[in-house]
Amino acid sequence: MENQMKFNHMKTGPLTKGDLRAVQLIQIEMLTEVDRICRSHNINYAMIGGTMLGAIRHKGYIPWDDDADIGLLRAEYEKFRQVCETDLDHSRFYFQDMRATPGYRWGYGKIRRKDTFFLREGQAHMPYESGIFIDIFPFDNVPDGKLAEKMHNLHCTIIRKVLWSEVGKKIDKNLLMRGVYFLLSKIPLKMVSSHLLRFADKGNRNKCQRVRTITFPAPDKYSEGMGEWFEQTAEYSFENLTLLGHRNYDAYLKHKFGEYMTLPPESERKSHPVSYYRILDET
């Protein structure tokens, strides 16, 4: 009842065109802050996914995109999350990941804007603040060799499903899968988080060619591409900012999207589903 009263004072999705742009402008604030922190502390990052694509194809946001993604190799991510404790502008933003935020179940971090709200479908019961955000992805090694990469991918999938279970048990359309997710959700979150970090650390001890985010699907099932793409960065225009991205953006975007300069059909130009949102706190 208390949650429903809270939602009564918010807008319901999908985002209007004007509100989509307002969300993008708030995310630009966060991208500015991430870039400031990383440059101040010599932390290497790269725009990834639709953000990198937007920089190349649109010089900014893909017009219908409602999120922004930043990627860092694991060692850089660890430096970044530590620096956020002291150098992030906490008057406007807060950082979340599984170690910083009780009940948080994603294997990557988020920077969120205070005094806003942005709730993805099926996540109203999650026990943490849900402001407008950008995603901060850590990238870990993928082992070389066909069998090793298949076993690694299976391990990643299991971890991802366990973390997703708290949402999946409520929204999966398959009754049997909801039951499976219910059982998986009983695994203590602290145990899953510790296991993920040990798994990442073990994989990162050896030099490997490719990387991925452990808890996020990869474009070819196994990797986000070459680790050197994340090491070798260059500056690109994104809206009114100058941000870092892959120096070899062509190889990365072809791996991620294929013929990336071709616009998708209008039927596929959609934002992510959002249940409730508030652009800025009006109180």
CATH code: domain of residue 19: 3.30.460
Q: In angstroms, what CA-CA distances link 115 with 76, 88, 112, 202, 279?
A: 28, 16, 9, 39, 8
Number of Cβ within 10 Å of residue 263's Cβ equals 12
Using the predicted structure, report yes or no on whether residue 30 has a pLDDT greater than 80: yes
Residue 98 CB burial class (10 angstroms; 0-12, 13-18, ≥19): buried
Q: What is the mean pLDDT of residues 13-40?
A: 96
pLDDT score at 13? 86
Any domain includes 208: no
How many domains, the chain?
A: 1
Q: What is the mean pLDDT of residues 247-251?
A: 98
pLDDT score at 160? 97
Q: Predicted confidence band at 6 (pLDDT cuts at 50, 70, 90)?
A: low
Using the predicted structure, report yes or no on whether residue 85 has a pLDDT greater than 80: yes
The residue written with tokens 């009564």 in the block is: 8
Q: Could you tell me which residues come within 8 angstroms of residue 274 by beta carbon, excluding any fewer than 6 positions away? A: 13, 14, 15, 66, 118, 119, 120, 121
Any domain includes 185: no
Q: Predicted confidence band at 122 (pLDDT cuts at 50, 70, 90)?
A: confident
Any domain includes 105: yes
Q: Could you tell me which residues come within 8 angstroms of residue 9 by beta carbon, excluding any fewer than 6 positions away? A: 278
Contact between 49 and 257 (Cβ < 8 Å): no
Q: Predicted confidence band at 3 (pLDDT cuts at 50, 70, 90)?
A: very low
Using the predicted structure, report yes or no on whether residue 252 has a pLDDT greater than 90: yes
Any domain includes 213: no
Any domain includes 220: no
Any domain includes 193: no
Q: What is the mean pLDDT of residues 232-257?
A: 98
Any domain includes 179: no
Q: Which long-range contacts (CB under 8 A, 24 or more apart) does 116-120 make?
A: 116/26, 116/277, 116/278, 116/279, 116/280, 116/281, 117/10, 117/276, 117/277, 117/278, 118/23, 118/274, 118/277, 118/278, 119/274, 119/275, 119/276, 119/277, 120/272, 120/273, 120/274, 120/275
Q: What is the mean pLDDT of residues 261-265?
A: 95
Any domain includes 6: yes
Domain that holds residue 88: 2-139+227-278
